[in-house]
Amino acid sequence: MPTIQGALILDHLTVGPFQTNVYVVGCSHTKEAAIIDGGGDAQGLLAIAEKHELNITQILQTHAHVDHVAALPELNKALPNAPISLHKADKMLYDHAPEQGAMFGYPVNPLPSVTTWIEEGDIIEIGDLRAQVLWMPGHSPGSVIFYFEEQDTMISGDVIFYGSMGRVDLPGSNPEDMRKSLKRLRDYPDATRIYSGHGPDTSLGREKQGNPFLSQDW
Ligand SMILES: [Zn+2]
Ligand SMILES: [Zn+2]
């Protein structure tokens, strides 16, 4: 079901063997939209945009793990003018997506080039919506959260999940960075809705209480 918060339209699909959540985030005023994580089911993502009468103008990546990027070749064919944004610290993972895929038994075609390297503090515009880029490394070196402050909404990728956090035992993971990222996340408002890369959505308040990786030092 789509969530509508002011100008923000948010809808998602759960795709692939890792049950990855991939999102369409659109502005109800201008009808511009972004895909956040081209992880799978390109046609399904395009169908969601059509259902909400949204025009996909860009693709934003929370990070470059294979289950979040596997549909980018097909999406890039369908949307050749939509820039692809990724944090530069995930360049290595992105460039080696086919090898990453092989490691997980997950065939991936070579990916289209990244158009825009994003970093901490960048503001991304989607129509009238504004998303801040929060660099939250740990799960991967270039993991980011897209924070729509006005709408109290975060698209968190694999930084935080309902009751849990992203793995920190993968190539490029760093538990110490993850600890710092989650500590930083505690400073944001409890009312913030969190839409994760895996599992159900939650709120930051709920996670500050019930998520052992966020509620206490580890
Ligand atoms: Zn991941
Ligand atoms: Zn993932």
For the ranges 47-51, 101-105, 134-138, 148-152, which has the lowest average pLDDT? 101-105
Confidence (pLDDT) at 105: 85
- On the question of pLDDT at 1 being above 70, the answer is no
CA of 140 relative to ligand 2 center, distance in Å: 10
Average pLDDT, the chain: 96
CA of 29 relative to ligand 1 center, distance in Å: 32
Q: Mean of the pLDDT values across residues 139-145?
A: 98
C-alpha to C-alpha distance for 87 and 40, rounded to whole angstroms: 20
pLDDT digits (tens, 9 = 90+) for 13-59: 999 999 999 999 999 999 999 999 999 999 999 999 999 999 999 99
Residue range(s) defining the domain that contains residue 163: 3-215
Confidence (pLDDT) at 6: 81
Most confident of 93-102, 105-114, 196-205: 196-205
Largest CA distance in the chain: 45
Q: Mean of the pLDDT values across residues 144-168?
A: 97
Confidence (pLDDT) at 215: 82
Number of other residues whose CB lies within 10 A of the CB of residue 33: 29
CA of 66 relative to ligand 2 center, distance in Å: 8
Overall domain count for the chain: 1
* Percentage helix, strand, coil for the chain under 3-state DSSP, each rounded to 5: 30, 30, 40
Using an 8 Å Cβ cutoff, are 176 and 218 in contact? no
Closest ligand to Cα 199: 2
CA of 36 relative to ligand 2 center, distance in Å: 12
- On the question of pLDDT at 2 being above 80, the answer is no
Residues 6+ apart with CB under 8 A from 196: 21, 156, 157, 158, 160, 161, 162, 202
Closest ligand to Cα 139: 1
Closest ligand to Cα 170: 1
- Identify the H or E element spanning 185: helix 175-185
C-alpha to C-alpha distance for 131 and 11, rounded to whole angstroms: 16
Residues of the chain with pLDDT > 90: what percent?
Answer: 92
Number of other residues whose CB lies within 10 A of the CB of residue 105: 7
- Of 148, 216, 138, residue with least CA distance to 177: 138
Which residue is listed with tokens 């159900």?
A: 200
- On the question of pLDDT at 163 being above 80, the answer is yes
Confidence (pLDDT) at 70: 97
CA of 1 relative to ligand 1 center, distance in Å: 24
CATH number, domain containing residue 200: 3.60.15.10
CA of 123 relative to ligand 1 center, distance in Å: 23
CA of 67 relative to ligand 1 center, distance in Å: 7
Q: Mean of the pLDDT values across residues 83-99?
A: 97
- On the question of pLDDT at 200 being above 80, the answer is yes
Confidence (pLDDT) at 3: 67
CA of 30 relative to ligand 1 center, distance in Å: 31
CA of 198 relative to ligand 2 center, distance in Å: 6
CA of 18 relative to ligand 2 center, distance in Å: 7
Beta bridge partners of 144: 135
Using an 8 Å Cβ cutoff, are 63 and 103 in contact? no
Given the DSSP bridges, would you call strands 55-60 and 84-87 parallel, antiparallel or unpaired?
A: parallel
C-alpha to C-alpha distance for 52 and 177, rounded to whole angstroms: 38
Q: Mean of the pLDDT values across residues 190-207?
A: 98
C-alpha to C-alpha distance for 151 and 44, rounded to whole angstroms: 25
Q: Which band of pLDDT confidence, cut at 50, 70 and 90, is reported for residue 108?
A: very high
Closest ligand to Cα 65: 1
CA of 64 relative to ligand 1 center, distance in Å: 7
